[in-house]
Amino acid sequence: MIKMRRLLYHQAINEALHQLIERDPRVFLIGQGVTSPWYVGRTTVGLIHRFGPKRIIDTPVSENSITGIAIGAALAGMRPILVHPRMDFMYYAMDQLANHAATWRYMFGNQFSIPLTIWGIVNRGGGQAAQHSQSLQAIFMHIPGFKIVMPSTPYDAKGLLVSAVEDNNPVLYIDDRWLYNCEGEVPEDLYKVPIGKGIVRREGKDVTLAATSYMVVEALKAAKVLEGEGIDIEVIDIRSLKPLDKEILINSVKKTGRFIIVDGGWRTCGVSAEILSIITTEAYDYLKAPALRLALPDVPAPASPALEKVYYLNSEKIIVKVRELMSDKN
């Protein structure tokens, strides 16, 4: 029997880490702040005391080399979990990620596997501004050679982390600190959520709202409000950007005929651009109105709360967009 409890998102990750490291001697956690009780959003609590410094490796601030070291360890038979507690610093690691992790299998004709989980955390808001706020999923989605997941619930946070660690490829596991206090049902045992599968979070017949990561939470809030206006929203949690579950998106458009993608990254060449392109080419015949997108404006994150309000997406902005889509002209 599956034992379910209600856990917070960060507790689900913490539990997965404990269980994964306990179960498999090849798994270790490496990155900045992993021995700190707070630096990685409380996700690493208790690990250093339980597993010691050989398997819980706090590192110097050398993002590129630490990433290369994790890749090298994966090449030598380990299954590292590499954490970048702020995605902004992953630009330092772009060489090792794009030129090495992503290429090492293809470039040498399938001789190597890199079973590496690269955990990038989006940590934004609160005046953190341009260099502590970025959501870089689109940049990685552009590069062949990765799988990319973005869990939005505690259940998926644990299940996708397990899948990432068991996968024989470099998997980017990207999550948003704004999710860390969300609560949900989580099985106690280890289980997998498949990479490459989206999920319908709410069924509806009028408009499809497809969303990534924390935007799923805001989309669900919006759907609730719109229900009161007689608009029936279907919410799809994309969950896996690569491989992307195109089928679940297209099937939903077949039903609703209206589509909005909501992504917490920038607009130009963003995840939203790629998904719109798929919908407008592969589901064109089913669209009753232009497919739309909500993404961050093409400016760096600002510090002032007044400007953050304009910059970040929320359920109100989603509601406005849905109303626009449902207005007479559409």
Partner 1 sequence: MKISSINISSEILHKMYVTMLRIRLFEEKVADILSNSKEIICPCHLYIGQEAVATGVCMALNKDDYVFSTHRSHGHYLAKGGDMKRLMAELYGKETGCSKGKGGSMHVAFKDVGFMGSSAIVAGTIPLAVGAAFAFSIQGSKRVSVAFFGDGATHEGTFYESLNFASLKKLPVIFVCENNQYSTHMPISASLADVRIYKKAGIFKMPGIRVDGNDVIKVFEVTRKAVEEARKGNGPTLIECLTYRWRGHVGPSYDLDKGLRSKEELDYWMRRCPIKRLERLMFKLGCLTKDQKDQIYENVKKEVEEAVIFAKESPYPKEDELYKDLLND
**With respect to partner 1, which residue has the nearer C-beta, 145 or 257?**
145
55 binds partner 1 (CB under 8 A): yes
CA neighbor of 137 nearest in space, from 239, 249, 279, 252:
239
Backbone φ and ψ of 64, nearest 5°: -65, -50
Active site residue 142: no
**Distance of closest approach, residue 56 Cβ to partner 1, in angstroms:** 12
Give yes or no for a contact between 286 and 257, defined as CB atoms under 8 angstroms apart: yes
| Per-residue tokens: 37 | 């009780």
**With respect to partner 1, which residue has the nearer C-beta, 110 or 327?**
110
DSSP, residue by residue, 139-162? HHHTSTT-EEE---SHHHHHHHHH
**With respect to partner 1, which residue has the nearer C-beta, 86 or 147?**
147
**With respect to partner 1, which residue has the nearer C-beta, 96 or 153?**
96
Residue count at the site for partner 1 (CB under 8 A)? 40
52 binds partner 1 (CB under 8 A): no
Among 43, 67, 134, 208, binds partner 1 (CB under 8 A): 67
Given its phi and psi angles, is residue 302 left (phi above 0), alpha (psi -120 to 50 degrees) or beta?
beta
As a 3-state breakdown, the chain gives helix, strand, coil percent values, each rounded to 5, of 40, 20, 40
**With respect to partner 1, which residue has the nearer C-beta, 92 or 286?**
92
Give the up-direction half-sphere exposure of residue 170: CA atoms within 13 A in the CB hemisphere: 31
Mask 289-328, x = binds partner 1 (CB under 8 A)?
----------------------------------------
| Per-residue tokens: 97 | 């990620």
Which amino acid, 266? Answer: W
Segment lying near partner 1 (by CB under 8 A), choices 96-104, 220-228, 246-254, 304-312? 96-104
Among 95, 166, 232, 282, binds partner 1 (CB under 8 A): 95
Binding site for partner 1 (CB under 8 A): 28, 54-55, 59-60, 62, 64-78, 95-96, 99-100, 104-113, 144-145, 147, 168-169
Catalytic residues: 132
